[in-house]
Amino acid sequence: MSGLSRQAEEDYLGRVATAIDSHLRAASAQLPEVWKEAGRIPDRDYSAQVHAHWRLGSTETRLHTLRELRSSPYFGRIDYVEDGDADRQTIYLGPVHLDDPRDGDYLVYDWRAPVGTLYYQGELGPSSYFAPAGQIQVRIERKRTYEIKRCKLIRISETARGEDNRNEAPLAPLDDMLQELLDRNTSGSMRQIVQTIQAEQDTVIRSEAEVLVVQGPAGSGKTVVALHRAAYLLYQLREKRGLQAAHGITAQRMLVLSPNQVFSDYISRVLPDLKEGQIRQVILERLVRERLARGFAKRCVNGQAVTSSRVFLRLPSW
């Protein structure tokens, strides 16, 4: 199996960085043209204005995403062989899809892609994942996790070692690296966990159920899994509806009911970290008060309409 040495991994990272730089140059050159195009559209042409606004926002978002991706473009790798196929497949997983501008080949796959199931839920040996074409049977040969900072390969960990790289320097055990990542707490806000998603969490995130209830004790990861599920659902909707409708599917069309403002601030960075923008949040008690007040305002007392300013609601402090 080729590409297993540290040098080969660093070479691949260099190839990915070159591809990101190429995309950055293209997007940077495109932005002034989009601005000019938007400025030439008459105010009365509302449809064209909306499309130009979307193109402008999409280009600016892509630039921001590419700049962030430059620091840490991927975190995992899977080597596998599909049943009936002699060729090994190597897949790198990261925050978003990234292709090579020279030939269009995927260099990095979005962690939410169907094949990502192998990384999160598969063990070495026989496994499978569901693709649009149906269930794909595979044999997983290798699983690796990377720590990359400022586009520098800091550390490589893997589930097991094979005879094909026995002469290489020892790699850190995967469990040790994952535990270290889990133990880190570098900020006072919740962050994304794509590197450390466990099999049971991935099952919840990728569930096909329309309504999903997750129960667990405090600190078990319910909230962060729910936010990753939101990112996964956005990805799925875009894939199903295609490129034309994808621009309207954003995190702003989702709503989180929060218990208080402190909690809202605490979780506010997860979706942006996942390159999905900010999700809408409403404090539950505030929503209930507003809706009930609105309902009471429409009623009449002693033959007179009651305004919301005259309504006093006493609710428990949740």
At 132 the pLDDT is 85
Closest CA to 82 of 46, 37, 41, 115: 115
Element (H, E) at 259: none
Q: What is the pLDDT along the chain (318 residues), one digit of tens a residue?
A: 457 899 999 999 999 999 999 999 999 998 888 888 878 888 777 777 777 777 787 788 889 999 999 999 999 999 999 998 889 999 999 999 999 999 989 999 999 999 999 999 999 999 999 988 899 999 999 999 999 999 999 999 987 544 444 444 456 555 565 556 555 555 567 888 898 899 999 999 999 998 899 888 888 889 999 999 999 999 998 888 765 555 667 888 888 989 899 989 989 989 889 988 888 899 988 888 888 887 766 655 555 554 444 444 444 444
Residues 6+ apart with CB under 8 A from 162: 1, 141, 142
Other Cβ atoms within 10 Å of 73 Cβ, number: 23
Does residue 34 contact residue 62 with C-beta atoms inside 8 Å? no
Element (H, E) at 194: none
**Could you tell me the pTM of the whole model?**
0.80
At 15 the pLDDT is 96
Amino acid sitting at position 63: L
Residues 6+ apart with CB under 8 A from 302: none
Residues 6+ apart with CB under 8 A from 47: none
DSSP 315: -
At 39 the pLDDT is 80
> How far is it, in rounded angstroms, from Cα 150 to Cα 71?
4
Other Cβ atoms within 10 Å of 107 Cβ, number: 19
Q: How, if at all, do strands 152-158 and 172-173 pair?
A: parallel
At 315 the pLDDT is 43
CA 216 to each of CA 12, 185, 193, 200, 201: distance values in angstroms, whole numbers, following the listed order: 40, 22, 18, 12, 12
Other Cβ atoms within 10 Å of 88 Cβ, number: 14
At 298 the pLDDT is 61
The phi-psi region of residue 303 (left if phi > 0; otherwise alpha if psi is between -120 and 50; otherwise beta) is: left
Which own/partner contact pairs does 176-182 have at CB distance under 8 Å and 24+ positions apart? 177/145, 177/147, 178/145, 181/147
Looking at the chain, how many residues does it have? 318
DSSP β-bridge partners for residue 258? 283
